[in-house]
């Protein structure tokens, strides 16, 4: 939907506090009307993703998602106060995804070399993908196991050089060519993409969304 206040809608709608086009696509799949609620230039959103020493991946992704939701709620409150017509109140959805292997958090790679390092670690292994979703302060966590075949150094380097790993937790996207490396998943495909549809639907049902 257009990124303007959908105040004329008679059906429920939400704010999506995420720049991910994949999350927008998945909300469209559910038929959920939404409007983006993104940080302005003054907000240091990346600081919310800093890991705490010794933090478990499950705890990390829950904490970061709740922190992003709180920041989005404060953002909406400020914008609503300044211009209630342009920024009407509505539920806010936040989500965050991370990849975990051997208890380590594999976040977004810093550069192509870091992506190569992550992909080598994932090659021939089973890792977990964790996606937390928060709607109006209520959280759910989706955990999936992803089985990868072994990769050659050439495959890893070509994928890293493509630029696809950048901005992706674990340095890959399941809907990219990396999907050909996955022999099996146990869990939620949409959760691995970045928004588990089942958990999202369960959080939205109490808010009069019907699926």
Residues with catalytic roles: 96
Of 132, 130, 135, 131, nearest to 34 (Cα)? 135
- As beta bridge partners, residue 16 has 36, 93
Contacts of 89 (CB under 8 A, 6+ apart): 76, 80
Residue 67 is encoded by which pair of tokens? 């922190």
- Distance of alpha carbon 165 from alpha carbon 119, whole angstroms: 9
- Distance of alpha carbon 174 from alpha carbon 66, whole angstroms: 25
Residue 154 is encoded by which pair of tokens? 């050439």
């Amino acid at each position: 939907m257009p990124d303007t206040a959908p105040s004329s809608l008679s059906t429920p709608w939400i704010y999506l506090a995420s720049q991910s086009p994949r999350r927008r696509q998945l909300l469209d799949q559910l038929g959920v009307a939404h409007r983006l609620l993104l940080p302005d230039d003054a907000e240091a959103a990346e600081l919310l993703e800093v890991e705490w020493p010794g933090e478990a991946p499950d705890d990390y992704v829950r904490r970061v998602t709740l922190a992003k939701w709180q920041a989005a709620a404060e953002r909406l409150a400020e914008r609503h106060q300044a211009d209630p017509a342009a920024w009407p109140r509505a539920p806010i959805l936040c989500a965050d995804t991370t990849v975990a292997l051997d208890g380590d958090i594999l976040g977004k790679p810093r550069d192509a070399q870091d992506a190569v390092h992550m992909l080598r670690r994932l090659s021939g292994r089973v890792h977990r993908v964790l996606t937390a979703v928060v709607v109006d302060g209520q959280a759910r966590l989706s955990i999936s196991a992803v089985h990868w075949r072994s990769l050659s150094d050439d495959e890893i380097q070509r994928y890293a050089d493509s630029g696809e790993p950048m901005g992706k937790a674990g340095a890959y996207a399941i809907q990219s060519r990396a999907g050909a490396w996955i022999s099996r998943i146990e869990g939620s495909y949409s959760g691995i993409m970045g928004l588990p549809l089942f958990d999202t639907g369960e959080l939205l049902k109490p808010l009069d969304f019907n699926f």
